[in-house]
């Protein structure tokens, strides 16, 4: 009984955090892109546009829900449902931190610890092609069909290098469970270099990490591989004919997929919640310093305001950051929050890279995309796996 209650609470918490984060990821993306292009981005709804996600949600909910006359209705309705539910499944096996004790209950900061967690993520990501392909086909429109076809071909092609690079860290850790993978990356070489898989002896997975990131861009249909929704050729690709909440379902699924794949990259290559340097050099105080620094910057700009209303908003932001910094000092919360901080920082950085790349790189041509996957990425991933397995075989025992 206790197990069910704890799992229910954890599921509700993870779903809430995930959906909120997805909504604010849209805000963050619009802000970062705007600043890359020397614009301001959303700024009307709430201070700094912070309430924009709420406004977007209300807008999408109240829009007219159109179904094209000649669409294949059951599949047309099934596709967004499939996309969003599959994107929510794989977060179940992602661990966010070590085993912790809350109110006397010892529990993992994870919904469920499967012994085949990595395979589950791969299986779900290979199934998520159907949402896109079905949407493209069932809309009965040429733009959607072409978008769906491109997307399924692209996702199948890039799944191969993705799966092969995932195999290399698994070889190093000798397990398929995410939790054991992170535990295998604990500790430091020479007391300072973390044993994350990108630095791991005998075969640092730095190339594997880069290949994984490139394939992840293609798997999530992001720039520079966003051919399925190339606006200037295909209007909006596979979701051209979708409106209102059904469009929102695809949109949410895309952003949740980005976060999931960044979590997986963090767990596989960046050591999960293991800190950057050992605790004896004070890595536990990094979150406090970071948050206090953010508070100081906000306070400085609040006292020297660029706009009149900053005098009111920025000191509040500073107080929030200072409060978070104090939370990291509470001895009861510290063992829970510090690993979460490291995990969130690494994942957040990778998510930022996704947005950064979108603001920087132009789109590939479709034949370049396919050629790149099959003639470059796949052989390199294979070489990486061969070298890793050879070195692991030589050095083990």
Partner 1 sequence: MDAILFLIFATIAVLCAINLVVQKHPISSALSLIGVMASLAVLYLLLGGEFLAAVQLIVYAGAIMVLFVFVIMLLNAGAERRSNRSLMATLFGVPLLAAFLALVAYVIQRGLPPTEGVYFGGFTQGTPRAIGRVLFTQYLLPFEVTSVLILIAIIGAVVLARKEI
Residue 29 or 159: the one with the smaller Cβ distance to partner 1 is 159
| Min CB(162)–partner 1 separation in Å | 12
Q: Using CB under 8 A, which of 23, 25, 153, 340 touches partner 1?
A: 153
Q: Mask: binding to partner 1, 157-196, rule CB under 8 A, as x and -?
A: --x----------------x--------------------
Residue 313 or 388: the one with the smaller Cβ distance to partner 1 is 388
Check binding of 148 to partner 1 (CB under 8 A).
yes
Nearest to 72 by CA among 136, 134, 138: 138
Q: Which pair of structure tokens corresponds to residue 298?
A: 């906000």
Check binding of 363 to partner 1 (CB under 8 A).
no
Residue range at the interface with partner 1 (CB under 8 A); choices 55-63, 129-137, 293-301, 340-348: 129-137
Check binding of 337 to partner 1 (CB under 8 A).
no
Q: Using CB under 8 A, which of 40, 102, 127, 393 touches partner 1?
A: 127
Q: Using CB under 8 A, which of 120, 162, 267, 295 touches partner 1?
A: 120
Count of residues in contact with partner 1, rule CB under 8 A:
25
Q: Which pair of structure tokens corresponds to residue 279?
A: 């605790």
Q: Using CB under 8 A, which of 14, 25, 133, 249 touches partner 1?
A: 133
Residue range at the interface with partner 1 (CB under 8 A); choices 23-31, 43-51, 128-136, 323-331: 128-136
| Min CB(122)–partner 1 separation in Å | 6
Which long-range contacts link 391-394 to residues 24+ away (Cβ below 8 Å)?
A: 391/202, 391/203, 392/171, 392/172, 392/202, 392/203, 394/202
Q: Using CB under 8 A, which of 14, 93, 111, 145 touches partner 1?
A: 145
Check binding of 122 to partner 1 (CB under 8 A).
yes
Residue range at the interface with partner 1 (CB under 8 A); choices 51-59, 121-129, 227-235, 356-364: 121-129
Cβ–Cβ under 8 Å, residues 295 and 118: no
Check binding of 156 to partner 1 (CB under 8 A).
yes
Residue 101 pairs in a beta bridge with 106
Residue 206 or 392: the one with the smaller Cβ distance to partner 1 is 392
Q: Using CB under 8 A, which of 20, 40, 81, 115 touches partner 1?
A: 115
Residue 154 or 200: the one with the smaller Cβ distance to partner 1 is 154
Q: Using CB under 8 A, which of 123, 210, 276, 382 touches partner 1?
A: 123
Residue 360 or 375: the one with the smaller Cβ distance to partner 1 is 375
Characterize the bridge pairing of strands 97-102 and 188-189.
unpaired
Check binding of 136 to partner 1 (CB under 8 A).
yes
Residue 120 or 318: the one with the smaller Cβ distance to partner 1 is 120
Cβ–Cβ under 8 Å, residues 280 and 274: no
Check binding of 93 to partner 1 (CB under 8 A).
no
- Residue linked to tokens 């094209």: 68
Q: Which of residues 33-92 bind partner 1 (CB under 8 A)?
A: 72, 75
Tell me which residues touch partner 1 (CB under 8 A): 72, 75, 114-116, 119-120, 122-123, 126-127, 129-130, 133-134, 136-137, 145, 148-149, 152-153, 156, 159, 176
């Amino acid at each position: 009984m206790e197990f069910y209650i704890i799992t229910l609470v954890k599921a509700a918490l993870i779903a809430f955090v995930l959906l909120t984060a997805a909504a604010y990821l849209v805000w963050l993306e619009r802000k970062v892109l705007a600043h890359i292009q020397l614009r301001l981005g959303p700024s009307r709804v709430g201070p700094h546009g912070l309430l924009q996600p709420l406004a977007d949600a209300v807008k999408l909910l109240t829009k007219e829900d159109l179904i094209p006359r000649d669409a294949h209705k059951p599949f047309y309705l099934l596709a967004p449902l499939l996309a969003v539910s599959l994107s929510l499944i794989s977060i179940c096996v992602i661990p966010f931190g070590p085993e912790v004790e809350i109110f006397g209950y010892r529990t993992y900061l994870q919904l469920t610890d499967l012994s085949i967690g990595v395979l589950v993520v791969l299986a779900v990501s290979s199934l998520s092609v159907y949402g896109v392909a079905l949407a493209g086909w069932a809309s009965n429109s040429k733009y959607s069909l072409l978008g769906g076809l491109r997307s399924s071909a692209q996702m199948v092609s890039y799944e191969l290098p993705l799966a092969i690079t995932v195999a290399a860290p698994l070889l190093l850790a000798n397990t398929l469970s995410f939790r054991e993978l992170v535990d295998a990356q604990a500790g430091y070489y020479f007391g300072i270099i973390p044993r994350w898989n990108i630095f791991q002896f005998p075969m640092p997975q730095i190339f594997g990490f880069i290949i994984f990131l490139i394939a992840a861009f293609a798997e999530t249909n992001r720039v520079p591989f966003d051919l399925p929704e190339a606006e200037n050729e295909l209007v909006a690709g596979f979701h051209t004919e979708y409106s209102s909440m059904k469009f929102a379902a695809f949109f949410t699924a895309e952003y949740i997929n980005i976060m999931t794949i960044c979590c997986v990259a963090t767990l596989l290559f960046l050591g999960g919640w293991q800190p950057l340097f050992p605790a004896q050099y004070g890595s536990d105080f990094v979150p406090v310093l970071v948050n206090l620094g953010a508070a100081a910057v906000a306070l400085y700009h609040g006292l020297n305001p660029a706009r009149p209303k900053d005098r009111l908003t920025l000191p509040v932001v500073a107080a929030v950051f200072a409060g978070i910094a104090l939370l990291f000092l509470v001895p009861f919360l510290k063992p829970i929050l510090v690993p979460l901080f490291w995990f969130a920082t690494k994942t957040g950085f990778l998510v930022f890279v996704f947005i950064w790349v979108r603001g920087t790189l132009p789109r590939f041509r479709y034949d370049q995309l396919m050629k790149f996957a099959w003639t470059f990425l796949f052989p390199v991933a294979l070489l990486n796996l061969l070298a890793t397995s050879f070195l692991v075989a030589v050095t083990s025992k």
